[in-house]
Chains A and B, each alone.
Chain A
Amino acid sequence: MNRRSLIKAFTLSASIAAMGLSWSIQAAETIKVGILHSLSGTMAISETSLKDMALMTIEQINAKGGVNGKLLEPVVVDPASNWPLFAEKGRQLLTQDKVAVVFGCWTSVSRKSVLPVFEELNGLLFYPVQYEGEEMSPNVFYTGAAPNQQAIPAVEYLMSEEGGGAKRYFLLGTDYVYPRTTNKILRAFLHSKGVADKDIEEVYTPFGHADYQTIVANIKKFAAGGKTAVISTVNGDSNVPFYKELANQGLKATDVPVVAFSVGEEELRGIDTKPLVGHLAAWNYFESVQNPVNTQFVNDWKAYAKAKNLPGADKAVTNDPMEATYVGIHMWAQAVEKAGTTDVDKVREALAGQSFKAPSGYTLTMDKTNHHLHKPVMIGEIQDDGQFNVVWETEQPLRAQPWSPFIPGNDKRPDYAVKGN
């Protein structure tokens, strides 16, 4: 930062502090930042907190003087859980609002919907959620986990003696691209470990499915044939009736553990977790992780939720995609500082190898070529207070394999981002 921009930043922040008025920011030169998360519709349950987390992070960066001496100006749009609308709103952000970067999307189908827009207009998208891989666009940075950073270590844990030594696997998911691809990868992985097809059952339910009686009865029947684990890629609020049914039919974690890939602290807020103690989730971050960075992160979030009077602020929790959002925004800001500009091509170059001390307790690095973060994997058990107790974690962050080696043909894919695949 040269002297002029330092002075500029100083006078700017001083003037804001003096006036205390947010509209004055508009007057000064700012960097516009798009936030593309559903604030209504079915995904609002998960995505609203990401929008708030993004706003908090931007506010924190601005409090420290912004980026390159300019303040960040968030532009929030609501694609309303409507997949084509994601593309429309994405285009609007890039062409009308002329944002430098967009943080957004949750479901894979929404990401697939905006992808052509970002590639066409050479925009920059940060995607903060664990997903099925099979994608590596030069216009997207993926701050969530690829399958080898979540699903595969979780299954390895279930196989281990410590994890219960499961022999049979019940793959339960919501019927869309993420669970189906993940289960395809897992089936190939299980085969490679010598698990036969008769010991794998794959079941899908529609979005918003609420009646899990038959499925839980089937899990019980399947589990009578040997030590079983359920691998759940059930998404959204269907998880509540599923877990309630498990508890009511007396299926305990010691008999049949359920490991979930889409259930975090935020989802557990709507459930009484006492009957669920011992069921598992695999993520790259849990709120309960003990380290100074996380303590600060959690406290900041709770204070922010209270100050902004967010709904349910007294019980505000952090979760993995929120951490990924936070890390993504900071990494982008660092890359812009390094590049000295918000030009997408220069920022993309500057992002490679960028690192950040994350709340997970690790210093996360953006891979030099594949646009994914190196992330640690953690397996947590649900506690009676709705938090997770980490029972297993990797010793160090793993490099992502977006092109899973368990899907035939992926060995020929390049290990760097290319448009249109």
Chain B
Amino acid sequence: MLRLLLTLLLLLPLATQASEGEYFITAKPAEQVSLLEGWAAQPDAARLPLLDNLHQGRIAEGDTRKLRLNNRLRGLLENTLASHQLLSDVAKVRLAAAQQLQKSAQPAQVAFLDRRYAIEADAAVRAALGLVLANLQLAAPEPSVRLAAVRLLGETGDPMARTRLEALLEPGVETDTNVRTAAETSLAQVKRKLLFGELLGQAFSGLSLGSILLLAALGLAITFGLLGVINMAHGEMLMLGAYATYVVQVLIARYAPGAIEFYPLIALPVAFAVSAGVGMLLERTVIRHLYGRPLETLLATWGISLILIQAIRLLFGAQNVEVANPAWLSGGLQVLPNLVLPYSRLVIIGFALFVVLLTWLLLNRTRLGLNVRAVTQNRNMAACCGVPTGRVDMLAFGLGSGIAGLGGVALSQIGNVGPDLGQSYIIDSFLVVVLGGVGQLAGSLWAAFGLGIANKLLEPQIGAVLGKILILALIILFIQKRPQGLFALKGRVID
């Protein structure tokens, strides 16, 4: 019976809805504005499908006419949609709607919001609605209502609450002394919460930048740190990894569109293989003839890097290629009202630590790692003991390059993928390895995170340009004082 009634109720407004849509698409922008404002003040559940469609830029499913919206209309539409979603049966939808309304609710909506607040059963939604109302009640005529609103706002960490309270405290705006004192206390509270969020945000940015530096530098920590090759083509290994990601993305989109969400995972082994392959090829053909001649190695690898860049440019063009974030790497986690942690950055921090662990295990717990360490510590002795030094060199160089390829996959998710990608990371990579102490994985780890956090602490104070210069100057001073870096190998191992 109830279902029948509901169906009838739903059918009834369908006709009006279609005409409302027709009317909307032909209306002038000014009329569209007043339409949306009117709808927001008096929501009607039957209009929800129409608003959903409008939000997607059309008036009905299957209708090919494109709705031209500008930002003002889009903002009003979001507000109106949220207002309608408050009528939803699902608490989660209502909560999201209330959060949207905290930003956008207009005084005309107070009556409706009051009604919803009175009958709202879900505690979280009720609290959110309370805040929506509090924002609007700051302008209420009764001091008692304003007082309650001001107190409520003090409990949030919303950056908008701060602005609203500050506006209230402007001379001459609020006349009631009780409300004024309460507003001052609330403002102090909000500021404290905001500061906390800001500090956390800075720390997170630092960690995130550190993890990126780490991924960029880790491969170099092996090729330069352990093997001692001044590898100027290291950046291009990152670039190859990023391009491998792009190719994997394109291939999957073409042949297995169902798996597109997970293409970065598939790209990981591919990027490792490509970069490691190119690295080993270079080692066998060029670099092995230049061991012990650092200047020539520097020039040769620099030449190789130019060749690789131009090859990629010929193959893929000078333009950057599009590497899209899959849905699970887009967006972010709202931790505090003024702190969002982007998923891509969270994943990259985790991934960087995972790669460090993997590298450490490889070097310290496998036969290959043992051989690599033996060869780097004393090549002749290792050769005498039957270690195939040539093969070990090749594999170690391949490993370093492959790890750079993995870094490239991560970098493709946050930055540009273009032929010059490697150039922007090569300096930072060398800084990390040199600062951390050549030949030390742990050193690179500390140096990367240290540089990241120092950079992010300085940037808000003195700006990105000066910050970068200052960091560079500090590193130079540090290296002057301590040429061996943060961590140095002790004993006779360095020849």
Contacts and interface: CB of A to CB of B under 8 A. Distances in A.
A396 interface: no
Nearest to B464: A205
Contacts, number: 157
Given A42-B420, A214-B202, A240 B415 contact: yes
Contacts of B320: 45, 237, 240, 269-270
A194 B163 CA distance: 20
Interface string A260-285: 00000010011110010010100000
Contact of A210 (B29, B78, B163, B415): B415
Contacts of A206: 464-465, 468
B16 interface: no
A381 B71 contact: yes
A49 B315 CA distance: 16
Contact of A270 (B325, B331, B418): B418
Interface string B319-363: 111101100001110100010101111000000000000000000
Given A42-B420, A226-B163, A248-B343, A209 B464 contact: yes
Given A213-B208, A381-B71, A237 B325 contact: no
B74 A204 contact: no
Nearest to A48: B318
B461 to A, nearest CB: 10
A311 B415 CA distance: 21
A358 to B, nearest CB: 24
A248 B342 contact: yes
Contacts of A218: 460
Interface residues of A, number: 59
Contact of B317 (A240, A255, A310): A310
Contact of A224 (B74, B159, B424, B468): B159
A45 B318 contact: yes
B494 to A, nearest CB: 34
B331 A40 contact: no
Contact of A391 (B70, B201, B324, B465): B70
B103 interface: yes
Contacts of A48: 317-319
A244 interface: yes
Contacts of B74: 253-254, 278
A311 B316 contact: yes
A221 B342 contact: no
A313 B465 CA distance: 37
Contacts of B463: 203-204
A302 interface: no
Contacts of B198: 217, 221
- 7 smallest CB-CB distances across A and B, nearest first, come from A311-B317, A270-B320, A224-B159, A248-B342, A272-B324, A213-B205, A44-B318
18 contacts: A40-B318, A162-B70, A213-B209, A214-B459, A214-B464, A221-B198, A221-B338, A224-B159, A240-B416, A245-B342, A254-B74, A254-B78, A255-B103, A270-B416, A271-B322, A311-B314, A312-B317, A391-B70
Interface of B: 29, 68, 70-72, 74-75, 78, 103, 159-160, 162-163, 198, 201-202, 204-205, 208-209, 212, 310, 313-322, 324-325, 330-332, 334, 338, 340, 342-345, 414-420, 424, 455-456, 459-460, 463-465, 468
